[in-house]
Amino acid sequence: MPTYLRSQDDDSVKADGDKIHDLLIIGGGSVGLTLGATWAMLGRDAVVFDRQPELYGLPRVGHIDHEIVRILQQLGAEGPTVEDAYATKSYTWINAEGETLLEFPWGEDGISGWHSDYMQNSAILERSLLDRLLESETVEHMPSWEVVDLVQHDDHVELTAERTHMVPGEPRPVLTGEHRRFRGRYVVACDGANSRTRHMLGVDRDDLGFNEKWLVIDARIKRPFSLAFDSGQVCDPRRPTTVLPLGKDHRRWEWHLRPDENPEDFLQPDKGWELLAPFDVTEDDIEPVRQLVYTFEARIARRWRSGRVFLAGDAAHTMPPFMGQGMCSGMRDARNLAWKLDLVLSGAADETLLDTYQAERDPHVRDWTVISLESGKIPCIIDPEEARKRDEMFRAGFRPPMPDFPQLIHGILHRAADGSLVAPAGELGLQGRVQVADRTDLFDRLLPTTGFTIVSITDDPRTALGPQRTAALERLGCHFYTVRPSASGTSSPTDIVDTDIVDVDGTYADYFRTRGIEVVINRPDFYVFGGSDMSGLTALADDFLDQTAAAQPTGASRHREPVTATPSRGHA
C-alpha cells in the first residue's frame, strides 16, 4: 500500500527505467558523502542527490576526532585532511584579562590509531570523500538535482528529483521544472538542519532549549603570523569569543551576539575588522572568506525512521558547536546505518535490525548535545558579576568535572543475564600499528575490517569457536584475527611467521590486559560488540549470533569477499 508523502502525479516526469537502487541518498554534504563513500567501499549501488551544483568549497567544520579520521582512513580519504590539519595540543579557556581558566587535554593519542583531536578544513575533507565516491562504479553522484517528493511502497521508495540551476543574482539554486523519478529499496535523508524530508515525514524535533546567535568569520591566512591566544574560548562577558585554526591555511573566530543586537549589523566587513582588532590581525595577515551569523540550536528528531526512509546528520539532530561534534555525530550515523542496511539488503538480517539505528544513535547524540550545552555555559556567561565569581572560583582551583564521552548503550551489544552491558561492549574499538609480513602500518590498512572482526591476543578464535559457529559467523561477514606479541615487545618472543599479525607497539597487549579480556568482537562501525577471555568466547559469539539471528531470516546465507581499506597517502 503506497504512502504518499506529497502528491506528485505528473506524467511528464521521466522515470529512471525499472531499476530499483539499493539506496537513494538525499544530500551530499559531509554526512551524505560519508554514507555514499562507505556504500562505494562496500561495492553497493546508490545515487546521491544534491541540489547544489558543486561542493560548498569553503571551510565549515573545524574539529574532528580520531574516530572520524579512522572512518576517513578506511574510505581512503584521510590523507589530504590530515596533511592540512592541525593536531590539537590543547584547548584553553581564558578570561577577559587573558588569565587561563582551564586547559583541555586535547593532545593525546586516540584509541582509533590517530591523534585525539584535529582542527581541519572541511572543504578538503568533503572533497576527498567526493573523490572516493566519483571513483566508484556503483555509486552515482547527481549534483544540481533537488529531491522534491517521496512515495513509499511496500518494497521500495519512489523519489522525484528536479533539476536545478544557478541564476545570476540568486544565492541559491533555482528549480528548472525538469523532473526525474528514481526508485530505491531505502532512502537516507542527509538533507541538513532544515530537512525537507523530515518535514514531509511530519517528524517533530525535541528542542533542548538553546537558541543563540553567533557571528562566524573564517579567514584565509595570507602570511604567517602568531596569535597570543591560538585556540580556545575567550570567556569575556562583554563578548564570549571562540578562536580556532582551520587547518594550516585558515582560521576561525566566533563571537556571541546579545539578544538585543541586530545580526544584520554583524555582516558588515567593517564590523568584522572591528571585532578582529584585539587579535592584532590586519588585512595584510588574513582575507576573510566567510562572514555569517549562525543560530546555534539543540534539536533532536523524535523519529529517525519512517518505513524505508531514514534521517541522518543535521536532518536528525543539531547541537551548538562548543565540542565540535555535530558533523562527527552525523558521520557516525552514516556508519551505523551503512552496515545494517548492508546486512538487510544482503538478506543476512531482517529489517528489524534497522530499528536499532535510532536506538543506538539517539542516546549517543543526546549525550554529546548535553555535553556541548554544558561546556558552553561556563565560557559564555554574559552577566559581569557572574563572570567575576566564575573567574574567582577558577583562581581558587575549581575545575568542572570532565564528562565521560558517550558510548553506545543500546542495540547490538553484549549484555549480562540481567541485561547490563558487559565492558568493553559499546566502547570504541582499538586500531593500533601492526606488522604483517614485511609491512608495518595501521591495522585497517593491512587487513580487511569492513565487516565484523573477531580479534584475539592469544589463539586463533576459530579453534575455540569450532567449525559450525565459525561458518555461521562467516556468513555474517566476520573476519578472524590473532595478534601476536612483537619479538622486541615485553612479552616473550614467539615464532613469528609471514602471515602473523604482530603487535609492534604493544598497543594490543595493553588494550586486552587493561580490559581483562583475550578476545573482542568489533562491529563494522568500529564499536565493540563485546569482549571476554578465550573460555568465554563461545558464549560471546552465541550472544552475537542470537542478537543478529533475532533479525536474521532462516536459511539466510551470504559470502562476502574481503575488502581492505584503500591505501592513501596520509600517515598516522
The contact set with ligand FAD (CB under 6 A) reads 26-32, 49-52, 60-63, 146-147, 190-192, 196, 216, 294, 313-314, 321, 324-328, 330
Residue 35 C-alpha cell reads as: 554514507
Minimum distance, C-beta of residue 316 to ligand FAD, in the bound complex (Å): 8
**Nearer to ligand FAD by C-beta: 63 or 560?**
63
Residue 343 C-alpha cell reads as: 546486512
Strand partners, 250: 220, 246
- Give the position of cell 581492505: 564
Q: Are 262 and 168 in contact (CB under 8 A)?
A: no
Minimum distance, C-beta of residue 70 to ligand FAD, in the bound complex (Å): 15
Helices 66-74 and 326-346: angle between axes, nearest 10 degrees: 40
- Listed in order, strand segments (DSSP E) in 120-203 are 139-143, 145-152, 157-165, 174-189
How far apart are the C-alpha atoms of 233 and 377, rounded to whole Å?
Answer: 12
Smallest CA-to-CA distance from 357 within 218, 512, 189 is with 189
Q: What distance, in Å, lies between the first and last C-alpha atoms of the chain?
A: 51
- Give the position of cell 517521496: 150
How far apart are the C-alpha atoms of 46 and 22, rounded to whole Å?
Answer: 6
**Nearer to ligand FAD by C-beta: 104 or 294?**
294
How far apart are the C-alpha atoms of 279 and 252, rounded to whole Å?
Answer: 12
**Nearer to ligand FAD by C-beta: 26 or 447?**
26
Smallest CA-to-CA distance from 397 within 106, 107, 105, 100 is with 100
**Nearer to ligand FAD by C-beta: 314 or 350?**
314
Minimum distance, C-beta of residue 253 to ligand FAD, in the bound complex (Å): 11
Integer-rounded Cα radius of gyration of the chain: 25
**Nearer to ligand FAD by C-beta: 189 or 348?**
189
Minimum distance, C-beta of residue 322 to ligand FAD, in the bound complex (Å): 9
Cα 8–chain centre separation: 34
Residue 315 C-alpha cell reads as: 536532518
Minimum distance, C-beta of residue 517 to ligand FAD, in the bound complex (Å): 31
Minimum distance, C-beta of residue 403 to ligand FAD, in the bound complex (Å): 17
**Nearer to ligand FAD by C-beta: 298 or 343?**
298
Q: Are 447 and 481 in contact (CB under 8 A)?
A: yes
Minimum distance, C-beta of residue 557 to ligand FAD, in the bound complex (Å): 35
Minimum distance, C-beta of residue 357 to ligand FAD, in the bound complex (Å): 15
**Nearer to ligand FAD by C-beta: 242 or 356?**
242
**Nearer to ligand FAD by C-beta: 194 or 282?**
194
Minimum distance, C-beta of residue 26 to ligand FAD, in the bound complex (Å): 5
**Nearer to ligand FAD by C-beta: 159 or 381?**
159
- Give the position of cell 590543547: 90
**Nearer to ligand FAD by C-beta: 336 or 547?**
336
Coil, strand, or helix at residue 188? Answer: strand
Alpha-carbon torsion 256, 257, 258, 259, what sign? negative
Minimum distance, C-beta of residue 326 to ligand FAD, in the bound complex (Å): 3
DSSP code string of 474-504: HHTT-EEEEEEE-TTSSSPP----TT-EEET
Angle at 511 between CA 497 and CA 86, to 5 degrees: 100
